[in-house]
Structure 1
Amino acid sequence: MTDASSSTPFQRLWLSETIRVREEHAGPLDDAEANRQVRAQGGELAERIQQRALLLSRRDGQWQALQHWLQGARLALLALAVLAAFSGLGLALTALGDGSRPVNVFWALGSLLGLNLLMLIGWLLGLSLSRDSAGALGRVWLWLSAKLARDASAAQLMPALLVMLQRQRLTRWGLGLLVHGLWALAMFSALATLLLMLATRRYGFVWETTILGGDTFIALTQAIGALPALLGFNLPNVELIRASGDAAIASEAARQSWAAWLVGVLLVYGLLPRVLLMLLCLWRWQSGKGALRLDLELPGYGLLRQRLQPDSERLGVCDLAPAELHQPQGGANSQTGSGALLLGLELDDRRTWPPGPLPKGVADAGVIDSREQRRQLLEQLTRFPPERLAIACDPRRSPDRGTLALLGELARSASATRIWLLPPAPGESLDSARLADWHQALGTLGLPHGDTAPLNWLETGHD
């Protein structure tokens, strides 16, 4: 039985949407075993749907695809973070240069903040004009995450995620958290590089113009520096600003005043807005993610209500045949079972059952033949899994898909399983080709088998 503790609530919601989208496009899945296990666990309908999705996704590969996608997303985020850090470094180097020429303060300011402010304005416009604003960086991250995942089973993951997030309008906040986080990292890298360069090189600062007057630059400098001044950053006085229009002032106090103004402007208009928006997006993301629920009114979930939380058990054909049949699989129950059980599967009436007295502690489940007997047995084994299970099969019959699927389900209900291929009755012989088919099919399922009665193994756990 699947352990839900290994998955987060968000992942279970995501997988539920993925399975729903998959069934809408490809038709109902073969879910009899999963539904039976879910019914045995109980719980509300939403919990049962999520548990069913977890079981089916681990069986069919969506769970593994989700892990691959998350791994690709982390690698994509790491690559973008490295790119953002180096971009901030490049912005600072471009703004100040190597110190051989005076720094034009407004050119430097444009180099440090221009692209950041343009992208910020674009994000705010997208937020106000569209329902979900991903931003260029967000779309790049989604594309890169999908490329790095490289899993064919992940085809429905991204559409299901976007559909689920759009119900709470979380796409803008989730991708906004990523976008503002990357820009905050770039601005922090630029600020750190700027401080390092100002601490190790001597820069002179000037402003230049041809058509504007000096009073315009004085007013602009003081207006831009007003907010940083409230945080304690130095604001150049009028005389210093006016003098810097003629040439770089050689005094140390002038250089320090302009350097503090530039650092304060970068911090207040570059780094702080991105950090505040990142915290806003984080708050909206966390609160919205906590409010995510399955929309049980959707047709895909409505069809599951009777199967997972039935008013009464129904007989006959419940659903159309699935578009694709999954291959039978073996396995074992991860829970610790108790006791030993022997059963026969679709045996001829001429065979005596049980085949002699059974050892102490070994229970007889009888011969299972009808659909109702199978259902009752599987329901019982789901609730009370045995430690050892031996299944007697008649190798004269063909190992068809239904028989192999049932053997796999029975094996997954016990801690350990063995298949007993019964010897032929006196005067009869086995078809070697059919016996080889059994060996090949059981080998594919990974189930140990033999032609001798496994009674000693059932009693003691060894041969």
Structure 2
Amino acid sequence: MIKIWCYHYISRLELRDGLFHDESINRQVGQAHAVASDQLVERACCLAQTKGLLAQYSQIRHLIGSAIVVLLVLGLIAGGSAALAALGPGATPVNVIWSLMGLLLMPTITLILWLVSLLMPGAGAPWFGRIWQTLLNRFIGRSDLLDAWHAWLDTTRQSTTLRLWMGLMSHLVWFALLLGGVVTMLAAFSLRHYTFLWETTWLSVDVFVSLATVIGAPAGWLGLSIPDAKAIAASGNQALVDPVVRMQWANWLVGAIAVLGVLPRMMAGAGCALVIWSRLRRQKPDPQTAYAQAVLAQIRHDVGTQLPDGPPGEADRFEPVDRIPANQQDFSGSVVVGVDMTALPDWVSARPGLGVVDDRDSRQEVFARLEEYRPERLLIVVDGGQTPDRGSVSLVRDLSGKAGQARVYLQPRASGLQRDELWQGKLVESGLLAPLQDQAQATAWLQGELA
């Protein structure tokens, strides 16, 4: 996370104060990385290190950790207090169903609401997550760490993990609260004498026997002895003093809270952490923003001013480094690029090609190349048998704007399935020229023989 945080932190500072210029860093990242997004991230990390800004990242992490510890301690204390209140002083029998509801009802309801909120993008954040963020805003809001904190928020928003972070904090607090309840009950059952019963005015004994058996099943999975149907029926309205039955009811209560309360929160928190890690790992800056384009232009300029080492007096025989792509092709004339295809057709393999755009990384790399070389002619090859959707047409339109002239060629499928009319209608509707449907026409256009 620290790398993408560095990018957002440096971008906030540069958008406010102007671009930092370090020629050595620009040359280093420009020569070491070909992908524009990688250049942006590495430059930001190098600048953050040279300017001593990484210490602020450590301080933000420390404050986040401190806020978590505060909430966890409060959760443990609250859970212990709730358990003691549910059990009572021991002078009167413990109503097992009532005590269980007092400890599990609210955590279960909030967990269900959180699961429902996953299907509702506009739903609010979990309670304890909002409390956690409020604590951090209170600590950081008026300090010199404000930009660093906002960079952290930008990182979570860009990766769509802010709600997941708040959900993780909420699950951790509920986990601590329930765990505190379990630990307190274990201590109370070890030091106090408790008896257990269940009470009802309307419901029959069979209802409670079935209910207690189902709820007690998780405790049985843990290897704990639980009351059987006979003991459950005998515990109604009058507590049994048999030590074995009392121990079984204590196991029943502890096992139910551990499996039905603690375990779901632990699993939900682990799920949030896994998704957060996965999204942050894939997050990369968008090189198409105005800020990113300005930074990339600075990098290209600084790389281009350095000439490769050569024999004395013959440096004029070399081109600037940023004008020599890795595959030694000239991308300033006629260039070919494919969209959502397995591979470019064989007949264009002899011409400068940028490959196929089929994912986020390839899109960023192709756009960076086009922005750098601005070719005179760009032939965009698409699968003529594929239905033109909004995303593919939008991508073709964006690619067309990166060259002097651009045309679309519909590559026919071997199966014969073609959707030429659909493509033509969508392209013309988007303000583009009608597609080329003949290989000879496409070749002539690339050679400048066809307008």
SS of match in other structure, 2:119: helix
Query: Which 5+ residue runs of structure 1 have no aligned equivalent?
Result: 1-9, 315-463
- Taking the TM superposition and a 5 Å limit, the aligned residue runs for 1:424-443 are none
Q: Distance in 2 between matches of 1:98 and 1:82?
A: 24
Q: Distance in 1 between matches of 2:112 and 2:148?
A: 31
- Please state how far the C-alpha of 1:259 moved relative to its aligned partner: 1.0
- Taking the TM superposition and a 5 Å limit, the aligned residue runs for 1:122-161 are 122-130=113-121, 134-149=125-140, 152-161=143-152
Query: Partner residue of 1:114?
Result: 105
Q: Which amino acid aligns with 1:77?
A: I
- Relative to structure 1, is the Cα distance of residues 235 and 81 closer, same or farther in structure 2, using a 3 angstrom cutoff? same
- The two structures, once aligned, show a CA RMSD in angstroms of 2.8
SS of match in other structure, 1:129: coil
Q: Which amino acid aligns with 1:106?
A: I
Of 2, 12, 18, the match for 1:28: 18
Percent identity for Structure 1 against Structure 2 = 28
Query: Partner residue of 2:217?
Result: 226
- Relative to structure 1, is the Cα distance of residues 165 and 131 closer, same or farther in structure 2, using a 3 angstrom cutoff? farther
Residue 43, structure 1, aligned to residue 12, structure 2: no
- Relative to structure 1, is the Cα distance of residues 215 and 114 closer, same or farther in structure 2, using a 3 angstrom cutoff? same
- Please state how far the C-alpha of 1:48 moved relative to its aligned partner: 4.0
Q: Distance in 2 between matches of 1:210 and 1:90?
A: 29
Q: Distance in 2 between matches of 1:155 and 1:228?
A: 48
SS of match in other structure, 2:32: coil
Q: Give the conservation status (yes or no) of the 8 Å contact 2:83–2:185.
A: yes
Q: Distance in 1 between matches of 2:73 and 2:176?
A: 9
Q: Give the conservation status (yes or no) of the 8 Å contact 2:216–2:256.
A: yes
Q: Give the conservation status (yes or no) of the 8 Å contact 1:39–1:48.
A: no
Query: Which 5+ residue runs of structure 2 have no aligned equivalent?
Result: 307-451
Query: Partner residue of 1:251?
Result: 242
- Please state how far the C-alpha of 1:63 moved relative to its aligned partner: 4.6
Of 44, 53, 61, the match for 1:53: 44
SS of match in other structure, 1:98: coil
- Taking the TM superposition and a 5 Å limit, the aligned residue runs for 1:282-361 are 282-310=273-301, 312-313=304-305
- Please state how far the C-alpha of 1:156 moved relative to its aligned partner: 3.9
Q: Give the conservation status (yes or no) of the 8 Å contact 1:184–1:275.
A: yes
Residue 103, structure 1, aligned to residue 94, structure 2: yes
Of 184, 192, 201, the match for 1:210: 201
Q: Distance in 1 between matches of 2:67 and 2:252?
A: 36
Q: Which amino acid aligns with 2:85?
A: T
If you compute each CA radius of gyration, which structure gives the higher value, 1 or 2?
1
Q: Distance in 2 between matches of 1:312 and 1:248?
A: 87
Q: Distance in 2 between matches of 1:276 and 1:65?
A: 32
Query: Partner residue of 1:347?
Result: none
Q: Distance in 1 between matches of 2:44 and 2:194?
A: 63
- Please state how far the C-alpha of 1:234 moved relative to its aligned partner: 3.0
Q: Distance in 2 between matches of 1:280 and 1:297?
A: 32
Q: Give the conservation status (yes or no) of the 8 Å contact 2:100–2:253.
A: yes
Q: Give the conservation status (yes or no) of the 8 Å contact 2:57–2:148.
A: yes
Deviates more, 1:194-203 or 1:237-246: 237-246
Query: Partner residue of 2:68?
Result: 77
Q: When the two structures are superposed, what TM-score results if normalisation uses the length of structure 2?
A: 0.60
Q: Give the conservation status (yes or no) of the 8 Å contact 1:49–1:308.
A: no
- Please state how far the C-alpha of 1:201 moved relative to its aligned partner: 1.2
- Relative to structure 1, is the Cα distance of residues 59 and 151 closer, same or farther in structure 2, using a 3 angstrom cutoff? farther
Query: Partner residue of 1:260?
Result: 251
Q: Distance in 2 between matches of 1:89 and 1:285?
A: 30
Residue 181, structure 1, aligned to residue 169, structure 2: no
Q: Distance in 2 between matches of 1:291 and 1:210?
A: 58
- Please state how far the C-alpha of 1:306 moved relative to its aligned partner: 1.1
Q: Distance in 2 between matches of 1:160 and 1:309?
A: 26
- Please state how far the C-alpha of 1:285 moved relative to its aligned partner: 2.3
Query: Partner residue of 2:269?
Result: 278
Per-residue deviation, residues 129-163 of structure 1 (Å, max 9, x unmatched): 12686412122212212322355444344444344
Q: Give the conservation status (yes or no) of the 8 Å contact 1:228–1:265.
A: yes
Q: Distance in 1 between matches of 2:52 and 2:116?
A: 40
Q: Distance in 1 between matches of 2:276 and 2:257?
A: 27
Q: Distance in 2 between matches of 1:40 and 1:288?
A: 28
Of 84, 107, 112, the match for 1:93: 84
Equivalenced residues, count = 302
- Taking the TM superposition and a 5 Å limit, the aligned residue runs for 1:405-420 are none
